[in-house]
Amino acid sequence: MPTSSHWLNDEQTPFLLIDEVRFARNVGRLATRINRLGCQLRPHLKTLRSVDAAKYILPNFHAPATVSTLAEAEAFAQAGCTDLLYAVGIVPAKLARVAELIRSGVKLHILLDTEAQAQAVIDYQKHHNVPFSVFIEIDCDDHRGGLAPQDPQILAIAQMLHDNQVTLTGLMTHSGGSYSAQTSDEIRQAAAQECQAVKVATQQLQAHGLTCPVLSVGSTPTAHFAEDLDGITEVRAGVYTTFDLVMYNLGVCQLNDIAMSVVTSVIGHNAAKNWLLVDAGWMALSRDRGTAKQHCDYGYGLVCDSMGQPLSGCHVTQVNQEHGVIELPDNLNVSQFPIGTQLRVLPNHACATAAMHQSYTVLKADGSKAVWPRILGW
């Protein structure tokens, strides 16, 4: 990270710190890659849920973006965003909020994978005269939701929508299984598999005279390892803006690409056990243990010094609500970390850690400070 400015030492810990240089570099890296592959990027804004961050991520606020909550959709729409995919399955009770955004001029796409959802959308459109735009979710790896590419329900849903003048805009898939990959080749295979899944699904529709203009794929791992996006309309990715230890373990980034850390202070010593106590517990770091099943387990985060340099073998090993425990390796001693010493903790899962903070402190390239508020709620 850039040389620490004096103001960092005066900040009340714990707080979440974003390195502007790394953040901007990560954003540019993926944008350039997807552009070279002849595809469009629809960034997922869910990691930081910040209008200020979106100003870096999106080329402009008319560019396509993805959100995970209607609270995000409403806040980004108010900021001027006009093309948003709400990439969580819709339920009838949320259609009124979706309709309000559409009436305000926002192109808000909704996601579904059941005939029941489709019928709810059809009924609402008929009764309220709201022109919905729908994506059908495709399951590319049996990881979570969606329909298998050859499932006849895809055609049934598409036909329902077509017969009732509801616009089927796209097919969407997410290679969540790529997060379990063991090698780069496995991530490449996952990338090819998700592309193939939406292509097979759209062929089923085309065979029956139905059109679907957008094929949307993506995850941060596959976005960085996809080799052929021919026939794909757009790629989605989210955590790439800050990266995290899960992405590092997957080989998607280097440690010096991770643009997020939680700054914490040493508040106590257990000399007998060679433990440091810090003021960042799970309320600051989250309980996410995403690296536990990977080849390197970082506990609740990798500990760095006050300048952001990793301390080898030094992890947050235990957390309570407001306390963290760092079990120091044999080459370090508690006496080297006086009370009040600031440390930085790199997160396992950036989305989970960011969710624990209402705003982020930003270390800008020139050493100055900015604060980015987070969009809260659902």
pLDDT digit string (tens) for 299-321?
Answer: 999 999 999 999 999 999 999 99
> Mean of the per-residue pLDDT values for the chain?
97
Q: Is residue 272 part of a domain?
A: yes
Q: What is the mean pLDDT of residues 38-64?
A: 98
pLDDT average, residue stretch 237-242: 98
Look at residue 3 and tell me whether its pLDDT is greater than 80: no
Looking up tokens 């705003």, which residue turns up?
Answer: 359
Check pLDDT > 70 for residue 116: yes
Question: What percentage of the chain has pLDDT greater than the value 70?
Answer: 99
Find the domain containing 271 and state its range: 6-16+259-373
Does residue 270 fall inside a structural domain? yes
Model pLDDT for residues 6-37, shown as the tens digit of each residue: 899 999 999 999 999 999 999 999 999 999 99
* End-of-domain residue from the set 193, 215, 241: 241
Do residue 237 and residue 264 come from a single domain?
A: no
The answer to whether position 75 is within a domain reads: yes
Clarify whether residues 10 and 53 are in a common domain: no
pLDDT for residue 56? 98
Tell whether 86 and 163 lie within a shared domain: yes
Q: CA-based angle 334:337:343, to the nearest 5?
A: 125
Same domain, 147 and 270: no
Give 254-272 pLDDT, tens digit per residue: 999 999 999 999 999 999 9
Q: Quick one: 195 and 264 in the same domain?
A: no
Mean pLDDT of 66-81: 98
Q: Is residue 11 part of a domain?
A: yes
90-105 pLDDT, tens per residue? 999 999 999 999 999 9
Residue 1 lies in a domain: no
CA distance 9 to 5: 8
Average pLDDT over residues 340-359: 98
Q: Is residue 337 part of a domain?
A: yes
Total-model pTM: 0.96
Residue by residue, DSSP assigns 67-96 as ESSHHHHHHHHHHT--EEEEEEE--GGGHH
Residue 144's pLDDT is what? 84
Predicted local confidence at residue 4, as pLDDT: 52
DSSP structural state of residue 44:
B
CATH of the domain at 135: 3.20.20.10
CATH number assigned to the domain comprising residue 291: 2.40.37.20
Which of 12, 88, 30 minimizes the C-alpha distance to 259? 30
| Number of structural domains the chain divides into | 2
* Residue 206 buriedness (CB in 10 A; 0-12 / 13-18 / 19+): exposed
What is the amino acid identity at position 60? N
Q: What is the mean predicted confidence (pLDDT) over 244-256? A: 98
What pLDDT does 6 receive?
85
User: Of 190, 213, 241, which closes a domain?
Assistant: 241
Is the pLDDT score of 341 beyond 90?
A: yes
Question: What residues form DSSP beta bridges with 40?
Answer: 234
For the CA atoms of the chain, what is the radius of gyration?
A: 22
| 189 vs 14: CA distance, rounded Å | 40
Q: Name, in order, each residue with C-beta under 8 angstroms of 50's C-beta and a sequence gap of 6 or more.
A: 360, 372, 373, 374, 375
What is the C-alpha separation between 31 and 41, in angstroms, rounded?
7
* Mean pLDDT to the nearest integer, 273-287: 98
**173 C-beta neighbours (distance < 10 Å), count:** 29
Instruction: Please identify, among 186, 215, 241, the residue that sits at the C-terminal boundary of a domain.
Output: 241
pLDDT of amino acid 143: 77
- The pLDDT score that the predictor gives to residue 209 is 97
Asked if residue 125 and residue 75 are part of one domain, the reply reads yes
Same domain for 57 and 170, yes or no, is yes
Is 305 in the same domain as 224? no
**Separation of alpha carbons 160 and 153, rounded Å:** 10
Residue 33: phi, psi to the nearest 5? -65, -50
Exposure string for 295-305, b = 16+ CB within 10 A, e = fewer: eeebbbbbbbe
Same domain, yes or no: 137 and 219: yes
Q: Say yes or no: 225 and 281 in one domain.
A: no
Query: What pLDDT score does 2 carry?
Result: 46
pLDDT at 375 over 80: yes
Helix/strand/coil percent split, the chain, to 5: 35, 25, 40
Contact partners, residue 309, CB within 8 Å, separation at least 6: none
Does residue 147 register a pLDDT over 70?
A: yes
Within a domain: residue 190? yes
Looking at the fold, whether 263 and 233 belong to one and the same domain comes out as: no
- Beta strands 65-67 and 133-138 are unpaired
- 248 lies in a domain? no
Beta bridge partner(s), residue 234: 40, 216
- Tokens representing 56 are 């870096």
Please indicate, yes or no, whether residues 139 and 266 belong to a single structural domain of this protein: no
Pull the structure tokens for residue 321.
């609500």
Distance CA 135, CA 348 (A): 31
